[in-house]
Structure 1
Amino acid sequence: MPPLPDDVSAGVVLRPTLRMRMALLYAALICTSVVAILGSTYLLAPGLLVHRTWQPAPNQPAQATGTATTGHSSGVFAESIGSDKFGGLLMALAVIAAFSLALSWLIAGRFVRPLRAIIGTAQDISANDLHRRLGLHGRHDEFTQLGETLDDLFARLEASFEAQRHFIANASHELRTPLSAGRALLQVAITDPAPTVETLRATCEELLQLGEQQERLIAALLTLANSQRGQQRPQPLDLADVARTVLLTRGPEAERRRVRLDVALTAAPATGDPSLVQSLVTNLVDNALRHNVPNGHAEIRTATGTAGAVLSVANTGTIVPAIEVEHLFEPFRQLGTERIRHSEGHGLGLAIVRAITHAHGATLTAHARPKGGLDIQVVFPTPSALR
Structure 2
Amino acid sequence: MRPRRRLRTRLAFLHGGVAFAGGVLLLAFLDVPLLAAGHTTGPGGDRSTSNLGEVLRYDAVALVAIAGLSGVVGWLIAGRALRPLAVLTASARNMSADNLTAAPRVPAVYREFDELAGTLDGLLYRLHGALTAQRLFVANASHELRTPLTVQRTLLQLAVADPAATAETLRGACHELLDLGRQQEHLLDALLTLAGGYRPVERWERFDLAGLARKAALDQRAAAEERGIRVSTELEPAAVAGDPTLAASLVTNLVDNAVRHNVAGGTVEIATTASGRLAVRNTGRPVPPGEIGRLFQPFQRLGADRTDQTDGHGLGLAIVAAIAHAHRAPLTAHPGPHGGLQITVDFPPAHGEAMADDEPAST
Q: 2:326 aligns with which of 337, 359, 365?
A: 359
Q: 2:182 aligns with which of 206, 212, 216?
A: 212
Counterpart in the other structure of 2:293: 326
How far apart in 2 are the matches of 1:85 and 1:301?
91
Counterpart in the other structure of 1:30: 19
Counterpart in the other structure of 2:198: 228
Q: 2:172 aligns with which of 202, 209, 214?
A: 202
Checking the alignment, whether the CA contact within 8 Å between 1:178 and 1:210 is kept in structure 2 is: yes
Q: 1:281 to 1:105 in 2, by over 3 A?
A: same
- With 137-146 and 341-350 compared, the bigger mean Cα shift is at 137-146
Counterpart in the other structure of 2:348: 381
State the SS of the aligned residue for 2:18. Answer: helix
Q: 1:35-76, CA deviations, whole angstroms, 9 ceiling, x for partnerless residues?
A: 222233357xx23x55625758xxxxxxxxxxxxxx6x4x26
Q: 1:208-256, CA deviations, whole angstroms, 9 ceiling, x for partnerless residues?
A: 1101100100111111122223335532100001111122211111111
How far apart in 1 are the matches of 2:217 and 2:282?
15
Letter in 1 for 2:345: V
The residue correspondences of 1:264-303 to structure 2 (distance < 5 A) are: 264-303=234-273
State the SS of the aligned residue for 2:93. Answer: helix
State the SS of the aligned residue for 2:65. Answer: helix
How far apart in 1 are the matches of 2:124 and 2:238?
40
**Structure having the higher Rg:** 1
Q: 1:340 to 1:372 in 2, by over 3 A?
A: farther
Q: 1:2-38, CA deviations, whole angstroms, 9 ceiling, x for partnerless residues?
A: xxxxx8xxx6xx3211111111122222222222222
State the SS of the aligned residue for 1:246. Answer: helix
In structure 2, stretches of 5+ residues that fail to align are 357-363
Checking the alignment, whether the CA contact within 8 Å between 1:170 and 1:339 is kept in structure 2 is: no
The answer on 1:312 being equivalent to 2:284 is: no
Q: 1:109 to 1:239 in 2, by over 3 A?
A: same
Higher strand share: 1
State the SS of the aligned residue for 1:271. Answer: strand
Counterpart in the other structure of 1:61: none
State the SS of the aligned residue for 1:361. Answer: coil
State the SS of the aligned residue for 1:304. Answer: coil
Checking the alignment, whether the CA contact within 8 Å between 1:268 and 1:302 is kept in structure 2 is: yes
Q: 1:272-296, CA deviations, whole angstroms, 9 ceiling, x for partnerless residues?
A: 2221111110000001111111221
Q: 2:148 aligns with which of 162, 165, 178?
A: 178
Letter in 2 for 1:202: G
TM, length-normalised to structure 2 = 0.90
Give the total of aligned pairs: 354
- Tell me by how many angstroms 1:84 deviates: 0.2
Checking the alignment, whether the CA contact within 8 Å between 1:51 and 1:82 is kept in structure 2 is: no
Counterpart in the other structure of 1:52: 38
The residue correspondences of 1:67-106 to structure 2 (distance < 5 A) are: 73=44, 75=45, 77=47, 82-106=52-76
Letter in 1 for 2:229: V
How far apart in 2 are the matches of 1:281 and 1:338?
26
Checking the alignment, whether the CA contact within 8 Å between 1:50 and 1:81 is kept in structure 2 is: no
Q: 1:374 to 1:169 in 2, by over 3 A?
A: same
TM, length-normalised to structure 1 = 0.85
Higher RCO (CA < 8 A, seq sep 6+)? 2
RMSD of aligned C-alpha atoms? 2.4
In structure 1, stretches of 5+ residues that fail to align are 1-6, 57-70
Counterpart in the other structure of 1:253: 223
Letter in 2 for 1:86: L
Checking the alignment, whether the CA contact within 8 Å between 1:50 and 1:79 is kept in structure 2 is: no
Q: 1:119-153, CA deviations, whole angstroms, 9 ceiling, x for partnerless residues?
A: 11122123761144424464571111111111111
How far apart in 2 are the matches of 1:21 and 1:338?
64
Q: 1:32 to 1:286 in 2, by over 3 A?
A: same
